Structure formats: C-alpha cells, structure tokens
A and B are shown apart, each in its own frame.
Chain A
Amino acid sequence: MDKDLLKNITDTVSNWKTPEISNIGTVLSVEDGVVILDGCSDVQMAERLVCTGKGVSAMVLNLAEDTVGAVVLGDFSVIVEGDVFERTNEVMAVHVSDDVIGRTVDAVGEPIDGGVAFSKETKAMPVEKIAPGVMSRQSVSEPLQTGILAIDAMIPIGRGQRELIIGDRSIGKTAIAVDAIINQKHTDPKVICIYVAIGQKQSRVAQITEILRENDAMDYTIVVNAGASDSVAMQYLAPYSATAIGEYFLGQGKDVLIVYDDLTKHAWAYRQISLVLRRPPGREAYPGDIFYLHSRLLERSCRLNEENGGGSITSLPIVETQFGDVSAYIPTNIISITDGQIYLENDMFNSGFRPAIDAGNSVSRVGGAAQTKPMKKVSGQMRLELAQFKELEAFAQFGSSDLDERTRARIERGRRIREILKQKQYGPLPIHTQIALIMAINVGYLDEISMEGIADFKDKFVLYMQTSKNEDPKDSLDDFFTTYTGTPEVSLEKKGE
C-alpha cells in the first residue's frame, strides 16, 4: 500500500474522538427559508444548527412548546421534509479578521466579491449581543465629519451617535451616507466604515461599491450585502452581522461608522419571517417585537470609555418614507430609537436644492457637543440667520419693495446661506473649507456677490482651499478675495472686516 495513504489513514484514525450525544431536530416543514423542526429540545435562541449531510446552516429564531423555528442561511431549496438538523452548541457568529476591510461579504461574513478567501485566523463575533452598559460608555463628544456642510454645521453627528437618514425614495439618502463614508479618508486614524445593503438590487450595490472604490474609500470600507435576490433570512441577519464586524474593530479601540441601507426593507424581511413562523401580526402586519428588532440593533452603537478601549460605533440607519409620511409605524419607531434625524424633503429636492436636507425638521440630539470649537462658533450664527430667513421668506413672496432695509438684508443673507448649502454628490468638503465658507457668509463677503455668482464662488473657493496652505479660515478668505475676479464689486471695507 502507498505509504502516504497509509500515513493518512493512520493520522485520521488516531485523531478520531469519542462522539458525544447530539440533540437533533427533524424538518416538519420548510417555507421561504424558514424551517420548522420537531426535536432540538435543548436548543437556545440564536444558536446555529447544521443540516446533517447537506452542510446548510440555520439560526434558531423561534422556540415553541413542541417545535423549533429556524431561518436557513444559504440555499434552502435543498432542504426537504424529514431532513435532520443538529445542534452545534454555539451561538450564530461571523468570523472576522482584518482581512475583511475592502471586501464585500454576505450576511454570514463570507466573501462574495470573487477575491481571495479570508485567512484562518479569525475571531468569532456573535451576531446577537447585549449592548454595552452605561458604565462602559462615555458621552458622545468627538465629531464625525460627514463632509456635508448642512449636516456638519447644523445637524452635527458625533462618534457613537445614531443619526437616522429619512425621506422618500430616490431623494438622496444613500448619497449622504456614501458621502459620509468617502469623507472618512481625511481622518487619521481612519474610521472603519461598513455599508450594509439590505434587500437592494445587486446592480445598485455594485454601483455604490464602485463609487467607493473610485474615491479610494474601499481602503477602509466593508460592504455587507444581502440583496433583494437573497433569502429573507440573509436580509434579516445582515445588519446584525455588520454590527458584529463593527464590534470586532470596536474591540481594537477603533472608530467605526455603519450605514444600514435600509431598515425599512429589514423590517419587511422580519415581517415575512414572522408571518411564516405564525407569529400574530400587529399593526401593518408587523410582529409585536418589531421595535425590539431595531432597538437591540441600534443600541449596540456606542462610544466606549478609555478603560474599554475608547472605540466607537456610529450608526446611520436609513428609512424610506411613503409620500413624506414620517408618522408611519417603522419611521416613528426608528425616530424614537435614534439620537436625531436628517430629514430629506421632496419639494426641496424637486426644486434643485441638493442635498435636500430640511434643517427645520432635522435634529441632532447630541448637538454642539459633537462639533469642533471653530465650527460651533461660526455655525451658531448661520443657523440663527437661516431660521430668521425662513420666517421672513413668506413676506418676500409679496415683493420686497415694502420691506425695510434690515429685513431685506436678512432675506438676501438667508438666500445666500441656502445657496451655499447646496452641494454636489460625492464631493464632501473638508472641515476647514466648511468653516471658511460659513465665515464668508457671517462676515458678509457673500452679500456683495449676486445669487447667480454664489455657485461659481463656492467652486473656485473649494479649489483654492485644496491647494492653500493657509490654516486660518479668515486668512484664507482674505487671501482668496485678493485674487477672486468673480466679484469685483466686493468692497475693500468688507475685506478688512
């Protein structure tokens, strides 16, 4: 006999271990990736089961008196009635290593981008985990710059915060999140970004991944994809897996940003699973624990104190509304869970105001604590002036001839603020450029520029700031206006202010 073969057999036999008693369950039914098992009496919630002989995994989601309900993670078409699932005695987990950065993975953490397989040295991160307690946290005080002027100035997001992005379909919700990811390339050390696509078209996810790659954002980003063609089980699991991946980096003391795109589709997936599991439907046919579904997910976003590594997980969940109705079940649930919301408005979007952020209905409950001192100083005045403009805007519709000069000046200032808040997609602005732009408004530089010239000024000034070595925003502005030819009418007195 071949010596190698003999050695192989000897090694295999010598490695045999005495088997243990296993707890099994027999498939009674399989519907839409949800199996009902008879048996598995010792199983625990969220435990991973394996189908004997078929290698397909399932996660326990329902413990009834006589049966166990589990969602199949993989190809459920091979599962038939009578198949046997065996306990693994381990809670469902994703196996994470640093290799995952820059990759696209599925809801169980396996690469799906055609790249090389992950190394064997991974850490098992449970997909379901109790959120860190109050004692291991610290308050949110460090800003997470999105690069979007309207957000960083008026709705600041802090590291460890949960800020909802809400609005109708095709209104620019994902664009804001993608901009926020792209802007993290300016951070040092880099904020690890995770983009979770739930129930989206594969082409759309590929498009977003490509945009991230083109902007060098894939160097610090992970895409977790459970597309529309994947099973509802995978769509249900994806945000939890992404959070588990985020917790791996949190454990290293790093800052993480997770974008859940979107939780409306996640709620749909859970509703489908719940109905197949025969759970009683409630409002809009969602099960009773739909609030807990999202609260236990978003509560895992946190900023840990120094004793626990000092890392953070910032969440940007996205929710889609129908005809701007924020009072629907899922939107109200998530509004109440998160620490603020960025509300995108249809009319603003249609009138060409992009990003269509409605500053009046948007809020950040962390507020100025998540802003740098210079930004806090300049943005306060701008916010106040914008609010005053909104009140006066109605009068302006009847013509401004009857208005006093002060009111007219306020209206003109407000219009310029709105104009400066317009921003191109995938073009996040560095914080010092943002501060300089707001300062230009506050000081009155833009009062002398015509409304049509604002966009030109902004483009040129942003370009200037990319090359300028001047660190002080005021000096940058003064320097810029000495050469800016777009507004010859800018008075010398204004420049000197």
Chain B
Amino acid sequence: MPSDAKNTSEHIVEQLLSEGNREIAELVLEKLTHELGTRIATVYFAGELSEDAKKKMEESTKKSFPRAHSVDFVEDKDLIGGIKVVFEDYVYEDSTRKRLAEAM
C-alpha cells in the first residue's frame, strides 16, 4: 500500500476512534490488515538461505511482483531444493520437487 494511502487510512481510523465509532474503526482496521496481508509475497525455500541471498531474493521478488509490499521467508523442506514464491494468486516454483514430479 502506498505510504500516502497508509497515512490517510490511519488518520481515518484515529478519527473514527475519537468520534466513538469503535465498531466501524475495527471493521476498517480489519479490512486494512487484510489488504496489507495480501500484499506480502512469501518465498518458500529448502535448506539454508544466507542473508545476502535473502536480500537478493527480496529484490528480485519485488521486481517480479511490483505490487508486493514486503517479502516473507518460510522454510519448506518438502521442496527438497530450490524455491517457491507465492504472491496473491501468482506462483513461481523452481523446486526440485516440481522438477521430479514433471520428470515422472
């Protein structure tokens, strides 16, 4: 989410709270959290991933998915090797598991 929009949203929530509209403020917060949550790209990896590699991975992920707000890293041993990047309903998978499944 762009920082301008984020500031405006925070301002709206604060305004709602100050006016005593707690229920509406909570609803807006929930929507915002959901919106921010779906803007996170998740990189699944198997084995070790150095900080340097993570940084490079983050850069290339944001380049491939410009709308990604941030990048999370999750270890997934089922991949056997390689990576899998998930952002919204897009998937990039270059893992040993997938290669083996395709070769079978």
Q: Which of A15-23, A91-99, A168-176, A244-252 contacts B (4 or more CB under 8 A)?
A: A15-23
- A24–B91 CB distance below 8 A: yes
Interface residues of B in 48-88 (CB under 8 A from A): 64, 88
Interface: A39 (CB within 8 A): yes
Chain B residue numbers with a CB within 8 Å of A22 are 90-93
Picked from B64, B89, B103, the residue with its CB within 8 Å of the CB of A39 is: B89
Tally of chain A residues near chain B (CB < 8 A): 16
Interface: A41 (CB within 8 A): yes
Picked from B88, B89, B94, B101, the residue with its CB within 8 Å of the CB of A19 is: B94
Interface: A322 (CB within 8 A): no
Picked from A12, A18, A24, A53, the residue with its CB within 8 Å of the CB of B90 is: A24
Within the complex, the shortest CB–CB distance from A49 to chain B, in Å, comes to 12
Picked from A18, A23, A38, the residue with its CB within 8 Å of the CB of B94 is: A18
- Alpha-carbon gap, A22 to B64, bound state (A): 12
Interface: A368 (CB within 8 A): no
Within the complex, the shortest CB–CB distance from A56 to chain B, in Å, comes to 16
Chain B residue numbers with a CB within 8 Å of A40 are 89
Known: A12-B103, A16-B99. A23 touches B92 (CB 8 A): no
- B92–A19 CB distance below 8 A: yes
Most buried by A among B91, B93, B99: B91
- Alpha-carbon gap, A39 to B101, bound state (A): 23
Within the complex, the shortest CB–CB distance from B39 to chain A, in Å, comes to 14
A residues at B contact (CB < 8 Å): 12, 16, 18-25, 38-41, 53, 86
List 26 contacting pairs A-B, 8 Å CB cutoff, sorted by A. A12-B103, A18-B94, A19-B92, A19-B93, A19-B94, A19-B98, A20-B92, A21-B64, A21-B91, A22-B91, A22-B92, A22-B93, A23-B89, A23-B90, A23-B91, A24-B89, A24-B90, A24-B91, A25-B89, A38-B89, A39-B88, A39-B89, A40-B89, A41-B88, A41-B89, A53-B101
Within the complex, the shortest CB–CB distance from B35 to chain A, in Å, comes to 14
Residue on B nearest A37 in the bound complex, by CB = B89
Chain A residue numbers with a CB within 8 Å of B92 are 19-22
Chain A residue numbers with a CB within 8 Å of B91 are 21-24, 86
Within the complex, the shortest CB–CB distance from B86 to chain A, in Å, comes to 9
- Alpha-carbon gap, A19 to B98, bound state (A): 10
Chain A residue numbers with a CB within 8 Å of B93 are 19, 22
Within the complex, the shortest CB–CB distance from B71 to chain A, in Å, comes to 15
Chain B residue numbers with a CB within 8 Å of A24 are 89-91
Closest 3 pairs between A and B when the two form their complex, measured CB to CB? A39-B89, A21-B92, A12-B103
- Alpha-carbon gap, A39 to B89, bound state (A): 5
Most buried by B among A18, A24, A40: A24
Residue on B nearest A25 in the bound complex, by CB = B89
Chain A residue numbers with a CB within 8 Å of B64 are 21
Most buried by B among A19, A23, A24, A40: A19
Chain B residue numbers with a CB within 8 Å of A16 are 99
Chain B residue numbers with a CB within 8 Å of A12 are 103
Chain A residue numbers with a CB within 8 Å of B94 are 18-19
Chain A residue numbers with a CB within 8 Å of B103 are 12
Interface residues of B in 8-36 (CB under 8 A from A): none
- Alpha-carbon gap, A18 to B98, bound state (A): 12
- Besides A23-B90, A24-B91, A86-B91, 14 new A-B residue pairs in contact (Cβ under 8 A), listed by A number: A16-B99, A19-B92, A19-B94, A19-B98, A20-B92, A21-B64, A21-B90, A21-B91, A23-B89, A24-B89, A25-B89, A38-B89, A39-B89, A40-B89
